[in-house]
Amino acid sequence: MADAPAPTILIVSARHADFLLDEFGRYARDYDLRTAGSAAEAIEVILDVKGGGGTVALFVQDGDLPDAHPLEAFHHWRAKVPTARRVVAAPYERFLEQAPELRPGLAKGKYDAYLLMPRGVRDEEFHGAITELLSDWGATVAAPEVESVRIVSPPGLALTAAVREYAERMGMPTRVHTPESPEGAETVAELEAGGTEVAWPVVSTFGHPPYVARSVREVAGRFYGNPQAATIEGVVDLAVVGAGPAGLAAAVYGGSEGLSTVVLEAEAIGGQAGTSSMIRNYLGFPRGISGMRLAQRARNQAIRFGVQLATGWEVEALDHDPEDGVHVLRTDTGELRARSVVVATGVAYRKLGVPGVEERVGLGVVYGSAMSAAREMQDYDVVVVGGGNSAGQAAIHLSRFARSVTIMVRRPSLEETMSSYLVGEIAFNPRIDVATCSEVVDGGGEGRLEWIDVRDTRTAEVARRDVQGLFLLLGAAPHCDWLPGTVARDSHGFVLTGRDVPRTAWVDDHPPADLATTVPGVFAVGDIRAGSMKRVASASGEGASVVPLVHRWLAP
Give residue 342's identity as a one-letter amino acid code.
Answer: V
- Pair (259, 122) in one structural domain: no
- Pair (250, 162) in one structural domain: no
- Pair (19, 131) in one structural domain: yes
- Pair (18, 161) in one structural domain: no
User: Which pLDDT band, with edges at 50, 70 and 90, does 502 fall under?
Assistant: very high
- CATH number of the structural domain spanning residue 160: 3.40.30.10
The answer as to whether 417 is a domain residue is yes
- CATH number of the structural domain spanning residue 60: 3.40.50.2300
The residue out of 186, 208, 223 marking a domain boundary is 223
pLDDT of residue 369: 72
The answer as to whether 75 is a domain residue is yes
Mean pLDDT, residues 401-415: 95
pLDDT of residue 273: 85
- Pair (246, 326) in one structural domain: yes
Buried-exposed string 97-132: b where 16+ CB fall within 10 A, e elsewhere: ebeeebeebbeebbbbbbbebbeeeeeeebbebbeb
Q: Which domain holds residue 531?
A: 227-348+477-554
The residue out of 163, 190, 223 marking a domain boundary is 223
- CATH number of the structural domain spanning residue 400: 3.50.50.60
- Pair (323, 275) in one structural domain: yes
- Pair (319, 369) in one structural domain: no
Does residue 1 register a pLDDT over 50? no
- Pair (340, 423) in one structural domain: no
Does residue 2 register a pLDDT over 70? no
User: Which pLDDT band, with edges at 50, 70 and 90, does 121 fall under?
Assistant: confident
Radius of gyration of the chain (CA): 25
pLDDT of residue 96: 81
pLDDT of residue 142: 65
This prediction has a pTM of: 0.86
> When comparing pLDDT for 375 and 116, which is higher?
116
- Pair (201, 245) in one structural domain: no
For the ranges 13-27, 109-123, 152-166, 170-184, the one whose mean pLDDT is highest: 13-27
In 275-417, beta strands by DSSP E: 308-311, 315-320, 327-331, 334-343, 347-348, 365-367, 381-385, 404-408
% of the chain residues with pLDDT over 90: 66
The residue out of 438, 472, 506 marking a domain boundary is 472
Q: Facing residues of 240 across strands? A: 263, 342
DSSP state of 452: E
- Pair (423, 384) in one structural domain: yes
Does residue 128 register a pLDDT over 50? yes
Report the chain's mean pLDDT, rounded to a whole number: 91
Q: Within 13 A of 267's CA, how many CA atoms are on the CB side?
A: 20
User: Which pLDDT band, with edges at 50, 70 and 90, does 479 fall under?
Assistant: confident
User: Which pLDDT band, with edges at 50, 70 and 90, does 156 fall under?
Assistant: confident
Mean pLDDT, residues 482-489: 95
Instruction: Specify the length of the chain in residues.
Output: 556
User: In the sheet that 56-61 helps form, which strands lie side by side, from edge to edge?
Assistant: 32-36, 8-12, 56-61, 85-90, 113-116
pLDDT of residue 166: 87
Rounded to an integer, what distance in angstroms lies between the CA atom of residue 359 and that of residue 456? 23
The string of pLDDT tens digits covering residues 250-264 is 999 999 999 999 999
At CA 413, angle to CA 409 and CA 415, rounded to 5?
115
The answer as to whether 210 is a domain residue is yes
The answer as to whether 357 is a domain residue is no
- Pair (292, 409) in one structural domain: no
pLDDT of residue 206: 76
Rounded to an integer, what distance in angstroms lies between the CA atom of residue 445 and that of residue 356? 9
Residue 91 near residue 16, CB atoms below 8 Å: yes
Count structural domains, the chain.
4
H helix intervals, 337-484: 355-358, 371-374, 389-398, 420-428
Does residue 245 register a pLDDT over 60? yes
Nearest to 386 by CA among 409, 363, 364: 409
The answer as to whether 1 is a domain residue is no
- Pair (339, 392) in one structural domain: no
Does residue 228 register a pLDDT over 50? no
